């Protein structure tokens, strides 16, 4: 079926058969300069095709052509919506009120992206809703150790070159929630080189330093005078190998930056520019943080489209979020959600070109 809009066309088609025999859909949103593909497995962003300065289209997110490839990938979270709690929780333990909860650990003794079977590894229900694609998921009480039945929703809307993600969630019991999209971007194309020469700007005066396990220390540190200062455009690779403790811990960049501006208000968080293609990505969000991850742990285990190996620094992530391990840091913006409340956040990825051919 198709829904023709002023700015985009939306189509739905059968894509694959799931492990339980269910039919998995693929959705396509298409405007003049942008084509986005999404699937119900992980409410996942499968591809984004956009034009370079000469009008040539390429896919600018890492991904696979088949569901089986996604099912085989146990490490990268490519394009998925991660949760119930995106990023890390120290030792998999958290307190809600006077009760402590133990979550399964899957990352050096910590819980990463919701645990071994996070939201990116679940099948969401997808549907076309007016000018958007809407994915819904019910995570039952006790799922991966988290309390409360959580009803989560992610809505993708494409207007021209801007892809808007609206996240929301409700619960029947006090819990925590932190949802984000884990796409890896390479603005020169997913089958091109690495992202080392991409130029990044982050609208952030501060970041949250980590220990060697990449768990925040609780400090909000200034980026000034460090290789984590991206307040002015800087090539990703210029300082990535500096002998700075934070870069040594992560093997590159894998840090939460405190976005300048008010939590809950839409503001510019990041701008990414690829000199080779002229493509530009801007990221606006209502979230207080953005995780810049330079693809340090991509090791060539998985091969994407066109037979391109996903090796170190093949793509980078710009994950809008609340801070890692927030439940264990009272000074951080809260990720708590109680019955009767609705969590809502918005992120907008805008894909453009510095001098696109009309």
Would residue 319 show up in a list of annotated catalytic residues for this protein?
A: yes
Q: What is the pLDDT of residues 154-184, one digit of tens each?
A: 999 999 999 999 999 999 999 999 999 999 9
Residue 270 falls inside a structural domain:
yes
Specify the 3-state DSSP secondary structure of 127: strand
Would residue 182 show up in a list of annotated catalytic residues for this protein?
A: yes
Residue 201 falls inside a structural domain:
yes
Q: What is the pLDDT of residues 208-248, one digit of tens each?
A: 999 999 999 999 999 999 999 999 999 999 999 999 999 99
Average pLDDT, the chain: 95
Residue 134 falls inside a structural domain:
yes
Residue 252 falls inside a structural domain:
yes
Closest CA to 122 of 146, 140, 104, 110: 140
Residue 358 falls inside a structural domain:
no
| DSSP per-residue string spanning 196-237 | TT-EEEE--SEE--B-TTS-B-S--EE-TTSTT--SS-EETT
Asked if 78 and 64 touch (Cβ cutoff 8 Å), the reply is yes
Output the pLDDT for position 4: 40
Where do we find the tokens 């493509």?
279
- The CA distance from 12 to 3, in Å, is 10
Banded model confidence at residue 8, pLDDT cuts 50, 70, 90: confident
Sign of the torsion formed by the C-alpha atoms of 168, 169, 170 and 176: negative
Q: What is the pLDDT of residues 314-329, one digit of tens each?
A: 999 999 999 999 999 9
| CATH code at position 104 | 2.70.98.10
Specify the 3-state DSSP secondary structure of 98: coil
Q: What is the pLDDT of residues 266-305, one digit of tens each?
A: 999 999 999 999 999 999 999 999 999 999 999 999 999 8
Residue 242 falls inside a structural domain:
yes
Q: What is the pLDDT of residues 106-147, one digit of tens each?
A: 999 999 999 999 999 999 999 999 899 999 999 999 999 999
Portion of the chain with pLDDT greater than 70, in percent: 97
Which of the following is catalytic: 40, 319, 322, 329?
Answer: 319
Q: In total, how many domains does the chain have?
A: 1
Where do we find the tokens 């990414």?
272
What separation, in Å, do the N-terminal and C-terminal C-alpha atoms of the chain show? 30
Q: Which domain holds residue 331?
A: 2-353
Beta-bridge mates of residue 151: 138, 170
Residue 205 falls inside a structural domain:
yes
Which of the following is catalytic: 113, 182, 255, 322?
Answer: 182
Residues ≥6 apart with Cβ < 8 Å to 235: 196, 197, 198, 199, 200
Beta-bridge mates of residue 178: 85
For residue 14, pLDDT over 80 is answered with yes
């Amino acid at each position: 079926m198709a829904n023709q809009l002023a700015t985009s066309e939306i189509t739905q088609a059968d894509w694959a058969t799931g492990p339980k025999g269910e039919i998995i859909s693929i959705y396509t949103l298409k405007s003049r300069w942008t084509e986005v593909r999404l699937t119900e497995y992980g409410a996942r962003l499968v591809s984004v095709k956009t034009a370079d300065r000469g009008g040539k289209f390429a896919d600018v997110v890492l991904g696979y052509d088949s569901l089986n490839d996604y099912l085989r990938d146990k490490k990268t979270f490519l394009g998925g919506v991660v949760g119930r709690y995106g990023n890390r929780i120290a030792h998999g333990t958290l307190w809600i009120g006077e009760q402590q909860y133990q979550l399964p650990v899957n990352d050096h003794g910590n819980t990463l992206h919701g645990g071994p079977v996070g939201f990116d590894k679940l099948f969401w229900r997808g549907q076309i809703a007016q000018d958007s694609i809407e994915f819904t998921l019910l995570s039952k009480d006790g799922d991966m150790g988290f309390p409360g039945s959580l009803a989560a929703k992610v809505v993708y809307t494409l207007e021209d070159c801007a892809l808007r993600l609206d996240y929301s969630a409700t619960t029947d019991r006090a819990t925590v929630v932190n949802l984000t999209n884990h796409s890896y971007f390479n603005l020169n194309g997913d089958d091109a080189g690495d992202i080392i020469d991409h130029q990044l700007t982050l609208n952030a005066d501060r970041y949250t330093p980590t220990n060697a396990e990449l768990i925040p220390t609780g400090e909000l540190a200034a980026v000034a005078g460090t290789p984590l200062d991206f307040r002015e455009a800087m090539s990703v690779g210029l300082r990535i190998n500096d002998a700075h403790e934070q870069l040594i811990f992560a093997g590159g960049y894998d840090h939460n930056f405190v976005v300048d501006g008010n939590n809950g208000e839409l503001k510019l968080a990041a701008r990414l520019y690829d000199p080779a293609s002229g493509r530009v990505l801007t990221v606006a969000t209502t979230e207080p943080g953005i995780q810049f991850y330079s693809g340090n742990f991509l090791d060539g285990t998985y091969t994407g489209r066109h037979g391109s190996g996903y090796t170190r620094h093949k793509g980078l992530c710009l994950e809008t979020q609340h801070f890692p391990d927030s439940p264990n840091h009272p000074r951080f913006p809260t990720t708590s959600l109680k019955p009767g409340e609705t969590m809502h956040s918005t992120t907008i990825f805008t894909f453009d070109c510095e001098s696109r051919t009309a």
